[in-house]
Amino acid sequence: MSFGGINKPHINLVMVAVGKHKNSGHAFRWTTNNIDNPIIIAVHVKHKGTPHQGTNVFPPDEKDIANVFSPLRQMCNEKVVKLKEAIIIDTDISRGILDYAKRNHIQTIIVGAPTGYKKNSSFKVSKHEDYKQVKGQDDLATAIMKSAPDYSSVYVISKDKVVESRPAIVPLGTVVAQSHGIAPCKSENDKWSQLYRRGSTNSRSGRSSIHEFIKSFSSNNNNNNHNNESLESIDLSSRSQRTPPLSHNSSLNENGSSGSNKFGSLNVAKLERNSSLQSDSQLVGEMEAEMKELRLKLRQTMTMYKSACKEAISAQNKANEITQWKMEEERMVEEVIMSKEAALALAEKEKAKAKAAIKAADEAMRIAEKEAQRRMQVEKTAKKDIEERDQALNVLARKDIRYRQYTLDEIEKATQNFSLSMKIGEGGYGPVFKGQLDHTNVAIKILRPDANQGRKQFLQEVEVLCNIRHPNMVLLLGACQEYGCLVYEYMDNGSLEDRLLRKRNTPPIPWRKRFEIAYEIATALLFLHQTKPEAIVHRDLKPANILLDKNFVSKISDVGLARLVPPSVADSVTQYHMTEAAGTLCYIDPEYQNTGKLTTKSDIYSLGIMFLQIITAKPPMGLSHHVKRAIENENFFDMLDPDVTDWPVDEALAFAKISLRCAELSKKDRPDLALEVIPELNRLKDFGCDLQNYQHNQSHPSGPLTPPQSPL
């Protein structure tokens, strides 16, 4: 099948095999950029069943244009190239392309290389869709390189570059002439005529002449690397038999005439001039057989020559590798010798250092033994001093007039002999009972006999609470020294922890009151830190140790673990070393827990965790991390206590941010309580009060109303 006379032999026809894979586009783009031809034939092979008999070439349908030819048309518009499109239906893609090339005398064939294509390779390719259909065969590019007509040049393109090419072996005119029985050229015909004449005179001398001619012809064509192909072009009779006839759809000239009469007359004239050669058909047959044998031997010789070249190159490479290996081995030997000498010198130095280190270690051992003896003596002295101080405190506690002294009988009567119905709580110190003393409701904390450090905590709490008074610190009313009982004012709403968790189904604490409670706790803690002459560090701040009275006024309790820190070490720079950390897990300052170094900033960490619980009502474990992630992911509202439905999100976010700063792992990153934390909490508290007053005035208007402004 032809398209607009594109199969005329005198035109250099260019064909590009195209498909749906991307290298087809690269091949077509390379053709428009590098092949100087105004017409390009784009051929696409469809792999379908048994091909039609006769012609199997069709124009593209709409689907083919959309999937295959549309991108090519855009390239043609850019390069001003005329595109001819053809669809071939065949069961074998390479066979369809080669048949089309032979029928239309295509002189230039361009194909896209599949992914993984290597030069001179014959492996199977199955990645691209077009090649998956040729299962069990060589890849398309290799098949066309092997089987393309001798007059066709083949280019394999990958990523706009030629990865392999095969030039034409013979001119197209020679093949066309052979297909019509015409000798290829005058000069070659004259040479063969002379050989035939010599062969007819003397067959032996004719054979030697053939050998000489083949040698000369081979040497003349050796520089072009086409020895085998040149010999094949000489064999006119075999070439004319192997060259397929032109397709019945093809034309040889622009007027559409086949030109058979012209070539026929030329052939008759030629045969008349060589009638003497044709008379000896037996000699010609022998000469042709000998030529075929010589051509086969030449091919074998060239194959052996190529193999020998490859072996020589391989041997040279191996020799280079051996030389390199020897040089590397010599270098390594030199390095080993040098490293051995350096190691010996280093060993001598290390030996001298080891002797000095042993001597220093012996000296250190002697110093350590002396230090251990000194410490034992100091510990004995300190233990004795502590015992004497405890005895003195016990004496003072019995005679202390700063608090009411209760007897055991009074305590038993107030608690109905420690009835379980009067029990209101349980702590590390011991159980807590509700009672009545002097017609006043009180909370009585009983020292558990097996409580660790219980006696010491008892005396510490008495000492701290007797020396300080603050509206947000729990009030110590009295104590029973003999039984280890502490009597406090009774707090009707229990602990902050119970109210956040809504135990006994109590109503949730409003957000305004939560901001107010946080402010009260912070001011009370600042009061402890500023106590003179020594600052007090609570060490066990948590919601369970914050008590609420009937008006939800918060008070700090349980100061049994408190420590008096000298003013010189109360800040975050200088630190007071403790032998062991005390407090509750999740609320203990990580630096204090790891190092035992105590400062007032240790309470700030516990305060930050407790503040996060006030607005979230969630457990303390990992709470700061979860809140920080929620702020980063912009879903902070989901972290707020869902029992409160009217949270002011912006104000709650500000509260959470100051709480997270308090809960920083490093002391130096935590804010100052007096200068940063309390002012922020005071603004939030005032915002809640102003909003409550505004809402109250709206329900009971008595004048112009002004809504409160956010402190943020």
| Best CA proximity match to 617, nearest among 678, 543, 530, 691 | 543
The mean per-residue pLDDT over the stretch 575-588 comes to: 62
Please determine, for residue 465, whether its predicted confidence score (pLDDT) is greater than 70.
yes
Kindly report, residue by residue over 345-363, the tens digit of the pLDDT: 888 888 888 889 898 888 8
In the chain, % of residues over pLDDT 70: 70
User: How high is the pLDDT of residue 230?
Assistant: 35
Kindly report, residue by residue over 479-502, the tens digit of the pLDDT: 887 778 889 899 999 999 999 999
User: How high is the pLDDT of residue 120?
Assistant: 54
Higher pLDDT, 317 or 124: 317
Kindly report, residue by residue over 221-264, the tens digit of the pLDDT: 444 444 333 333 333 333 333 333 333 333 323 333 333 333 34
Please determine, for residue 320, whether its predicted confidence score (pLDDT) is greater than 80.
yes
| Best CA proximity match to 589, nearest among 574, 602, 607 | 602
Contact yes or no for 490/540 (Cβ under 8 A): no
Highest-confidence range of 82-96, 221-235, 310-324, by mean pLDDT?
310-324
Please determine, for residue 267, whether its predicted confidence score (pLDDT) is greater than 90.
no
For 14-168, CATH number out of 2.30.30.50, 3.30.1370.110, 3.40.30.10, 3.40.50.620 equals 3.40.50.620
- Positions marked catalytic: 540
For the chain, give the number of residues. Answer: 712
The mean per-residue pLDDT over the stretch 171-182 comes to: 63
Contact yes or no for 257/194 (Cβ under 8 A): no
Kindly report, residue by residue over 538-564, the tens digit of the pLDDT: 888 999 999 999 999 999 988 766 665
Higher pLDDT, 460 or 150: 150
User: How high is the pLDDT of residue 79?
Assistant: 64
User: How high is the pLDDT of residue 683?
Assistant: 95
User: How high is the pLDDT of residue 244?
Assistant: 37
User: How high is the pLDDT of residue 670?
Assistant: 95
Among the residue ranges 200-204, 305-309, 320-324, the one predicted with the least confidence is 200-204
- The beta strand positions in 413-505, using DSSP E, are 423-426, 431-437, 440-446, 476-480, 485-489
Which residue spans of the chain are classified as CATH 3.30.200.20? 402-490
User: How high is the pLDDT of residue 626?
Assistant: 96
Please determine, for residue 375, whether its predicted confidence score (pLDDT) is greater than 70.
yes
The mean per-residue pLDDT over the stretch 75-104 comes to: 84
User: How high is the pLDDT of residue 198?
Assistant: 43
User: How high is the pLDDT of residue 442?
Assistant: 92
Which residue spans of the chain are classified as CATH 1.10.510.10? 493-712
User: How high is the pLDDT of residue 697?
Assistant: 81
User: How high is the pLDDT of residue 509?
Assistant: 95
Quick one: how far is CA 81 from the chain centroid?
46
Q: 371-374: list long-range contacts, CB under 8 Å, 24+ apart.
A: none
What DSSP character marks residue 118?
A: -
User: How high is the pLDDT of residue 664?
Assistant: 94
User: How high is the pLDDT of residue 49?
Assistant: 57
Contact yes or no for 141/117 (Cβ under 8 A): yes
| CATH class in words for 402-490 | alpha beta
Q: To the nearest whole number, what is the mean pLDDT of the chain?
A: 76
Measured CA to CA, the distance from residue 278 to residue 274 in angstroms comes to 7
User: How high is the pLDDT of residue 246?
Assistant: 33
User: How high is the pLDDT of residue 199?
Assistant: 41
Residues 145, 146, 151: CA angle, nearest 5 degrees: 75
Q: Which two tokens stand for residue 125?
A: 């390719």
CA distances, 672 to each of 130, 335, 525, 565 (Å): 74, 62, 12, 18
Contact yes or no for 688/516 (Cβ under 8 A): yes
CATH number belonging to domain 493-712: 1.10.510.10
